[in-house]
Every structure is written in structure tokens, then in C-alpha cells.
Amino acid sequence: MNRDWVDKDFYQVLGVGKEAAADAIKRAYRKLAQKYHPDANAGDPAAEERFKQVSEAYAVLSDGEQRKEYDELRRLVESGAYRGFDNGPGNPFGSGQRVRMEDLFGGGMGDIFSGFGGGGRRRGGPQRGADVSAELTQSFNDAVNGVTTTISIRGEAPCSRCSGAGAEPGTSVDVCPTCGGTGVVAQNQGVFSFSQTCPQCGGSGRIIPTPCTQCRGKGTEVRTRNIKVRIPPGVQDGATIRIPGKGNPGRNGGPPGDLLLKVHVTAHPVFDRRGNDLHVTVPISFTEATLGTTVEVPTLDGSVSIKIPTGTPNGKVFRVKGRGVKPEKGPAGDLYARAEVVVPRKVSREEKKLLEQLAEMETEDPRAHFKVPQ
């Protein structure tokens, strides 16, 4: 167990409630991390410390198993049960007696109190890097057809000089002699034996005699990375694509995080996309709607012929199966063509005369069933 779990309220650090869902915790972390990131607060030690606190809190609360263990420990601390186990007169187990938390809690707390009977989680071991979020705007056609492009991400990356080792090239990284590479050391406090971060190596389990002159032993640096990404065919506006291994580098040999790329798609001048279906408006003249005709309707790959039957009303929709968006997986969508009868704004004298003759010949009253309430 890291002593910080006893002393710190990670929920308060992130500004969320104890019942907060994983998504709410992630949103709170991203907001605070952006606010206090060292890149945005150069030379501000208070912001840097705050950033470390936020990162530590998120590392615990974003891990389901660690969060469960942390919640149980905090429950003991807040209830006062934790402070009751000491070597004083109230110790029900007797002076100097060691207590296994597995015996008290059915084995579910072994990883919290590392050091009870040996074992426990190595706090300074390999840690997975954080996920990185980015956004990309694509044209309608590129989103429909798929494209491979390159994006630039500025943030933490493996040091270009030491390749993330933290040691000056040509030198070695040694195992910490104090903790033996575990990153933690035992500390006896009455009935409990705590494991706390090793004071010599800071929990990393290693010592770097000759730190890298570029990253100063950190193993990472802030720089711009150009990452090639593949946008699959049919991606929709607002979709998030996970690109494994392209997030922040891991710690102490841990794997890197992922890149979460949110895609924005620009509008098309002709097509309106709804899911994988495409909707298009097809203008037709009054005579075409009345007499019927065949019109060519554009699609994503050429055009199709649609028969407009005699007496087609304004707004009638024609469906062309399979001519919508074709995603990488799953069936293609359909094309929906909506007929829009266009009334001419200007007519010639001859056209007007013919229309007047037509009006005199009409036998069907379009308002025959139109009734005005009295």
C-alpha cells in the first residue's frame, strides 16, 4: 500500500463524487490535466505540483481494481477503524502481533496492504502510458472512401537521445540497492506493516548513475510527433478511432498508451448523410411531375436512373438500395432521392397562354376536400 492512499482523497483532487462513473472521472482528469499541464504553465511550480497530484489520482481511480481497493481503505480510514489497530491498550490482537488483512477481509485486501505476509503490488513497477486525445477534420469523400493521413501530436514522447532509457547512451541502469528493484520498502507501524515508496529511487526500482543529458533521466521529452493514421471507409462524423500504442510513453518499461482520434467530417454540397444512408433532393419540373419522366440521380460512384411516374407529388421519396455509404464492415446503406417540383419564377407570354388553356381544361379541383373550420 502506498501511504498516499491513507493521506489523500483522490476524489477531492479530481473534484468528483465517490460514486462518479469512469467517464466522469476521465473527463475531470482531462480538464484538470489540460489546465495544469507544464507546457501551459512554464515556470509555475505550483501548477506542476497540481498536475502531479491530478495524474496520481487518475492513475488510481481509472484502474478498476485499484479503485476498489482504495475505496475500501478510505472507508476504514474515514470510519476510524483504521486508526484503531495499534499497539495501545485497545489493540484486540495483543501487543506486537501482526495481522493479515486476508483474515480480516476474506483475502480481498492483499494488494492494498503490500507487505502483509509478503507480496503486494509493486508500486514502482512498469506503468502503462496515458491515452492521448486528438481531433482530425476530414472531407466528406475521404471519410466515405477511407484515407491514410499523417497528424502531428505535441506532447510526451520517448527521449530521442536515450530512447526512453533515461541513462546517457553507453551507460547502464542499475537496480536500486535499497529496495532491490521493487520500488517499495517496508515500514512497521504497530500492528501493521506498510509498504511505502522507496526514498532512494522514488518508486522506480532503479538507479541511473549517469542520467541522459537531454531528458535528465526522465526518459521522456516534450516534442512533436508525426503519426500516420488510417481512417477506415465509412467513418461517421464524431466517431472516435483508437490507435494502439500511439499515446504517451509508459513508465519503467511499461507499454505506451493509445491515441484516441475524434474525427470531424465536413458537409457535402449535395448529399445529406444519415448513418450509412444518403439523402439527395432531385429537382423536377411541373410537366415532368405531371407527365412522368426518367431522371439521372448522382451517387458516390456515378449516377443511377430513376423513373418518375405520372402524377408524382412534390416530396415523394424514391429508394435506391445499396447506393449509400459502404462501410469497412457491414452492409452498404441506401440512397433516398426526394422529388422536388420546381415552379418557374418567370413564364413567357406563350407559356402563360398555354397554362391558362390548361387551367380551363382541368377537371380535378385540388381543393375539393379542403374545408375551412367555421
Amino acid symbol at 35: K
| Residue 85 backbone dihedrals phi, psi, to 5 degrees | -90, 95
d(CA 64, CA 213): 37
Mean pLDDT of 123-140: 83
Please report how many Cα atoms fall inside a 13 Å half-sphere around the Cα of residue 170, on the Cβ side: 1
Local confidence band at 46 (pLDDT 50, 70, 90 cut-offs): confident
Q: How far apart are CA 50 and CA 46, in angstroms?
A: 6
Helix H or strand E segment including 307: strand 302-308
* DSSP letters for 320-333: ETT-S---SSS---
Question: How much is the pTM?
Answer: 0.56
Total domains in the fold of the chain: 2
Burial class (CB in 10 A: 0-12, 13-18, 19+), 4: middle
**Same domain flag for 137 and 227:** yes
Which of 11-20, 75-84, 331-340 shows the lowest mean pLDDT across its residues?
A: 75-84
Q: Residue 166: pLDDT band by 50, 70, 90 thresholds? A: confident
Name the least confident of 181-195, 219-233, 265-279, 303-317: 181-195
Question: Does residue 180 have a pLDDT over 70?
Answer: yes
Residue 175, classed as helix, strand or coil, is strand
Answer yes or no: do 255 and 305 share one domain: no
Q: Is the same domain home to 129 and 254?
A: yes
My answer on whether 316 and 261 are in the same domain is no
CATH number at residue 248: 2.60.260.20
> DSSP label at 165?
S
Q: Are residues 227 and 149 part of one domain?
A: yes
Beta-bridged to residue 155, according to DSSP, are 223
